[in-house]
């Protein structure tokens, strides 16, 4: 665990490295809404084993150091219900502006630890946050992978998909099937925006996979879909970093 100073405070982050002492490209791991926990660390370790320096920040550091909720309590249905009630106010603090500000600090830390551009991998809300960072720092981000990401298309003037012209990274989306936070119509709208912007991208829907399919500590976990995601991510990173 390391600390990264941001304009709003200090973010506790998990840092994973390959076993050797060589130079390796960097990957920013943007977590889901459940928070920085053991599953995230395990995933970061697996990515690092492929030859990357991986930084996984506690995106909710404004509400305290990780874990913001004891993982064991999430096994209790009543505690889980209480957790989800508190989640929305916590997530609301991570505005697009805050995400971009934080992202600059995380990219700067990776810049101290690695050479060249970085990749981003994001999960659930993390894919959306990663998109905002990629759009704001196009000269630093070479690749973006977003998995079971929602909320990319809204009716608002600040809909994330409208930032497509600012994104220069190669993009991969692995959407969840039957995900009400990212419907087939919304995916089509996002794809059209990326087409118009000339983004090099792949957009796939993982049939039979639910929102959260990569997270083995949650009920939506789908092992086949999670392994497919790792294969797609490693291919993306190997082609771009």
Catalytic residue annotation: 124, 179, 211
Cβ(59)–Cβ(93) below 8 Å = no
Intra-chain end-to-end CA distance of the chain, in Å:
24
Alpha-carbon distance 218 to 216, whole Å?
6
Cβ(119)–Cβ(171) below 8 Å = no
Cβ(64)–Cβ(90) below 8 Å = no
Alpha-carbon distance 210 to 191, whole Å?
20
Cβ(17)–Cβ(23) below 8 Å = no
Alpha-carbon distance 181 to 152, whole Å?
8
The residues with which 145 forms a beta bridge, in sequence order, are 121, 172
Residue 210 has what DSSP assignment?
P
């Amino acid at each position: 665990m390391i600390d990264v100073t941001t304009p709003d405070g200090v973010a506790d982050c998990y840092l994973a490295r390959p076993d050797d002492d060589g130079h390796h490209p960097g990957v920013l791991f943007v977590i889901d809404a459940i928070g920085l926990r053991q599953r995230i660390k395990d995933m970061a370790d697996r990515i690092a084993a492929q030859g990357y320096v991986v930084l996984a920040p506690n995106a909710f550091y404004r509400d305290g150091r990780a874990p913001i909720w004891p993982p064991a309590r999430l096994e209790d249905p009543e505690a889980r219900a209480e957790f989800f009630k508190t989640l929305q106010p916590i997530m609301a603090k991570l505005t697009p502006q805050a995400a971009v500000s934080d992202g600059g600090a995380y990219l700067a830390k990776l810049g101290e630890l690695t050479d060249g551009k970085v990749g981003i991998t994001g999960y659930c809300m993390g894919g959306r946050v990663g998109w905002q960072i990629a759009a704001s720092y196009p000269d630093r981000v070479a690749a973006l992978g977003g998995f079971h990401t929602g909320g990319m298309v809204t009716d608002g003037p600040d809909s994330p998909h409208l930032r497509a012209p600012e994104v220069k990274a190669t993009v991969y989306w692995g959407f969840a099937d039957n995900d009400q936070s990212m419907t087939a119509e919304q995916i089509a709208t996002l794809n059209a925006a990326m087409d118009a912007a000339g983004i090099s991208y792949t957009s796939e829907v993982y049939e039979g996979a639910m929102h959260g399919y990569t997270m083995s500590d949650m009920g939506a976990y789908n092992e086949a879909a999670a392994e497919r995601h790792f294969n797609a991510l490693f291919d993306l990173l190997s082609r771009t970093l």
